[in-house]
Amino acid sequence: MKRFTGFVIKEFIHIIRDFRTLLILFALPAVQLLIFGYAVTNELKDIRVAVFDQSRDRFSRDITNKIMASEYFIFDGYLESAHDIEVRFKEGMVKQIIVFEPDFGYKLMREKTADIQLIADASDANTANLVVNYTSAIIQDYIFGLQADAGGLLRIHPEVRMMYNESMKGAFMFVPGVMALILMIVSALMTSITITREKRNGDNGNPPGIPTQAFTDHPRESHTLCSTFIYQRRHHSGDRIFCIRLAGARKPGPVAV
């Protein structure tokens, strides 16, 4: 028990003396806790939404204003044509586009029903589902308030379309992240295996070198460096002398090895 206590005290003293170890043990976990706890989140925030309004009436503007009044969405402007839908998605800034059909308000008041198309960027399937569900909930809340004023049953049918991932498969997002994680694990594993193998073999994997003393034939002039490398091979070993003469140096004399 005394030996174990002494070992614990020794390791504790070593940890206190090593500033880098203290950073790894305390500072790094604290930073990771803050990053993964607060910075990395799947909550919806500042989702940019564009609107393609083919009706331009009071009801379409009211729905647009109600959606953009939410803390989750940011208005990214109106589209001029259907061709702009794919263009805006390819820019990578817009996550959803709301399309109002022509005569939206007229159909809603006369026919008691109207259609809205919600087009979402489903390259991230989870985010696309959340965006569409939040938008649909806001639209339904607007209809409930409008029914109380109109005194009749009104319906809006949100037509959902997922761009770039209509099957809503999450593998398109998980596979790249898993690949990065596997590469990190394999890199750390191979590093530990290499260090363990070199420690077991007693070398660092490089041919050992025995440097000889540098010499000069004049103190003010450049000198020639000679080093002796011992090449250990499977069947024999031998000494070879390599001399590197620097520019401006005189021819060196004999070297004793």
The one-digit pLDDT tens for each residue of the chain (257 residues) are 788 888 888 878 877 887 887 887 888 888 888 887 777 777 778 899 999 999 999 999 999 999 999 888 999 999 999 999 999 999 988 999 999 999 999 998 888 899 999 999 988 888 899 999 999 999 999 998 888 776 678 889 899 998 888 877 766 677 777 888 888 888 888 888 887 877 777 655 454 444 444 444 444 444 444 433 333 444 444 444 444 444 444 444 444 44
CB of 156 closer than 8 Å to CB of 139 = yes
Largest CA distance in the chain: 112
CB of 110 closer than 8 Å to CB of 66 = no
pLDDT reported for residue 6: 87
Q: 3-state DSSP: the chain helix, strand, coil percent, rounded to 5?
A: 45, 25, 30
Residue spans of the domains in the chain: they are 1-41, 47-169, 171-202, 209-245
Helices (H), the chain: 2-17, 19-22, 28-34, 58-68, 83-91, 104-110, 125-150, 171-201
pLDDT reported for residue 151: 65
Q: Measuring CA to CA, which residue among 169, 93, 175, 98 is closest to residue 132?
A: 98
Q: Alpha-carbon distance 227 to 230, whole Å? A: 10
pLDDT reported for residue 257: 43
Q: Which CATH number does 47-169 carry?
A: 3.40.1710.10
Q: Alpha-carbon distance 115 to 85, whole Å? A: 18
The SS3 assignment for 55 reads coil
Residue with tokens 């003469």, as numbered in its chain: 245
